[in-house]
Amino acid sequence: MTTQAPILIGDRTITAGEQRYVHLPLPHLYTHARISMPVYVIHGLQAGPRLFVSAAIHGDEINGVEIIRRVLSTLNIKTFSGTLLAVPVVNVYGFLDKSRYLPDRRDLNRSFPGSEHGSMAAQLAHQFLHEVANLCTHGIDLHTAAIGRDNLPQIRAHFKQDPELLAMAQAFQPPLILSTSLREGSLREAGFKRNIKIILYEAGEALRFGEEAIQIGVEGIFSVMRYLGMLPAEQPALAKPEPLLSDSSVWIRAPQSGILHVKVGLGTAVSQGELLGHVADPFGAHLEKIYAPKTGLIIGVSTLPLVHEGEAILHLAHLMQSDTIASAEPQHEIEPEPELANL
Ligand SMILES: [Zn+2]
């Protein structure tokens, strides 16, 4: 085994066996306070895959920040090959504001590949893509549902187009893997065009720490690093069930404005025509029932009981292994409106 060559990130050269912080400069605040994107780099002694793990591309999605903290606190560089670039807070501005967006209301995950002299979002996207993602062979991007929603822990990957992404997603061992198309301007789309293998982990709620979502995320990242050969293989203490696979999903919308009562939780398997809840006026007089349009698994749910007609309230995934629906483990969690969907 040969010692791997140094890597240049920003203005820092990091040699084999070294781990250190790099601060990538970003546009200042209007107070002139300096802003940078902090990256922690672990450059193993031996060559291997280069993996980035990113969080808070949407600044209010903070489960991933804690996931990365726990991964870094546990990782042993002595047994580590390849390179890890950990970026717990990509959208620094949104994180400061506890907001999904940038100060100009742009969505960073619609701004890739960005440009050096474009909008704030374009500059941030460009910096992340050029100084982090472009150095990597693989990536794991951590998200949660948008505000007022909750997501079942799940991996999203363009796996129908790329079997390698499916293998990586299966290595993560989430409860569910959902094939989603690539949204224009997303990090996953930019990665796909550059042959960087990127999977997206969606779990829990914005502005909260969800312990189950965090633990599945931490274990998933270690499992992917073992799968990629960055860490020695290890016998799992307990065999986990195979992730369920879904090739499509639909949003169920409020049939009228009113107060929402949902009778099903995250991870519930439902049958076509099954009663899922209702929307009523505050007195309960004008009540509209909500039925499952298809058989599938509940993977996202609104946590806010006040809805307008047409609002997305439940996210239903169609399972590819329909014979396993009955054995789906009931869990408790949800996701964002289609127009806010992470990807
Ligand atoms: Zn997100």
CATH code of 160's domain: 3.40.630.10
Is residue 176 assigned to a domain? yes
171 and 283, same domain (yes or no): no
Query: What is the rounded CA–CA span in Å between residue 222 and residue 226?
Result: 6
pLDDT confidence of residue 237: 66
pLDDT confidence of residue 321: 75
40 and 183, same domain (yes or no): yes
Is residue 241 assigned to a domain? no
Distance from the alpha carbon of residue 269 to the mean position of ligand 1, in angstroms: 25
Distance from the alpha carbon of residue 231 to the mean position of ligand 1, in angstroms: 28
- Average pLDDT value for residue range 47-70: 98
Is the per-residue pLDDT at 138 higher than 50?
yes
153 and 276, same domain (yes or no): no
Cis status of the peptide bond prior to 175, with omega within 30 of 0: no
Domain boundary among 227, 258, 277: 227
Share of the chain above pLDDT 70, in %: 92
Distance from the alpha carbon of residue 85 to the mean position of ligand 1, in angstroms: 19
**Confidence band, pLDDT 50/70/90 cuts, at residue 337:** very low
- Average pLDDT value for residue range 67-96: 96
**Confidence band, pLDDT 50/70/90 cuts, at residue 322:** low
Look at the chain and report how many structural domains it folds into. 2
Distance from the alpha carbon of residue 10 to the mean position of ligand 1, in angstroms: 25
Residue 12 token pair: 């820092």
pLDDT confidence of residue 240: 79
- Average pLDDT value for residue range 312-333: 67
Distance from the alpha carbon of residue 340 to the mean position of ligand 1, in angstroms: 8
Sort 249 into a burial class: Cβ within 10 Å, 0-12 / 13-18 / 19+. buried
211 and 252, same domain (yes or no): no
Distance from the alpha carbon of residue 165 to the mean position of ligand 1, in angstroms: 19
Largest CA distance in the chain: 74
**Confidence band, pLDDT 50/70/90 cuts, at residue 3:** confident
Distance from the alpha carbon of residue 250 to the mean position of ligand 1, in angstroms: 18
Is residue 2 assigned to a domain? no
User: Do residues 244 and 328 lie in contact, with contact meaning Cβ atoms separated by under 8 Å?
Assistant: yes
CA angle, 335 then 340 then 343, to 5°: 75
Distance from the alpha carbon of residue 335 to the mean position of ligand 1, in angstroms: 10
Per DSSP, the three-state class of 45 is coil
65 and 14, same domain (yes or no): yes
Side-chain-facing half-sphere of 183: CA atoms under 13 Å: 18
Is residue 184 assigned to a domain? yes
Distance from the alpha carbon of residue 338 to the mean position of ligand 1, in angstroms: 12
Distance from the alpha carbon of residue 304 to the mean position of ligand 1, in angstroms: 18
User: Do residues 47 and 6 lie in contact, with contact meaning Cβ atoms separated by under 8 Å?
Assistant: no
Distance from the alpha carbon of residue 200 to the mean position of ligand 1, in angstroms: 9
Distance from the alpha carbon of residue 146 to the mean position of ligand 1, in angstroms: 7
Is residue 235 assigned to a domain? no
Distance from the alpha carbon of residue 201 to the mean position of ligand 1, in angstroms: 9
200 and 151, same domain (yes or no): yes
Distance from the alpha carbon of residue 175 to the mean position of ligand 1, in angstroms: 19
Residues whose CB falls within 8 Å of the CB of residue 30, separated by 6 or more in sequence, listed in order: none
List Cα–Cα distances, 124 to 25, 63, 199, 252, in angstroms: 9, 21, 20, 34
Distance from the alpha carbon of residue 145 to the mean position of ligand 1, in angstroms: 6
Task: Provide the residue type at 225 as one letter.
Answer: M
**Confidence band, pLDDT 50/70/90 cuts, at residue 327:** very low
Sort 208 into a burial class: Cβ within 10 Å, 0-12 / 13-18 / 19+. middle
pLDDT confidence of residue 239: 74
Distance from the alpha carbon of residue 5 to the mean position of ligand 1, in angstroms: 34
102 and 214, same domain (yes or no): yes
Residue 340 token pair: 């806010």
Distance from the alpha carbon of residue 61 to the mean position of ligand 1, in angstroms: 6
180 and 322, same domain (yes or no): no
> According to DSSP H, which parts of 179-321 are helical?
187-193, 211-227
Residue 275 token pair: 């009663």
**Confidence band, pLDDT 50/70/90 cuts, at residue 340:** very low
Query: What is the rounded CA–CA span in Å between residue 57 and residue 175?
Result: 23
Is the per-residue pLDDT at 79 higher than 60?
yes
Is the per-residue pLDDT at 332 higher than 90?
no
Q: What is the CATH number of the domain that holds 310?
A: 2.40.50.100
Residue 258's closest CA among 309, 213, 320? Answer: 309
Distance from the alpha carbon of residue 234 to the mean position of ligand 1, in angstroms: 31
Is the per-residue pLDDT at 336 higher than 70?
no
Residues in the chain: 343
pLDDT confidence of residue 342: 45
Is residue 72 assigned to a domain? yes
Parent domain of 75: 7-227
Distance from the alpha carbon of residue 29 to the mean position of ligand 1, in angstroms: 23
Residue 260's closest CA among 297, 311, 299, 296? Answer: 311
Residue 253 token pair: 């919308």
Distance from the alpha carbon of residue 332 to the mean position of ligand 1, in angstroms: 19
List Cα–Cα distances, 194 to 112, 138, 168, 229, in angstroms: 12, 11, 17, 22
179 and 267, same domain (yes or no): no
DSSP-assigned letter for residue 309: T
300 and 335, same domain (yes or no): yes
106 and 208, same domain (yes or no): yes
Q: E strand or H helix at 293, and its extent?
A: none
Distance from the alpha carbon of residue 152 to the mean position of ligand 1, in angstroms: 14
Is the per-residue pLDDT at 341 higher than 60?
no
Is the per-residue pLDDT at 1 higher than 80?
no
Distance from the alpha carbon of residue 144 to the mean position of ligand 1, in angstroms: 6
**Among 2-6, 13-17, 37-41, 248-252, which is the least confidently predicted range?**
2-6
pLDDT, tens digit, 9 for 90 and up, residues 248-288: 999 999 999 999 999 999 999 999 999 999 999 999 889 99
70 and 100, same domain (yes or no): yes
Is the per-residue pLDDT at 126 higher than 90?
yes
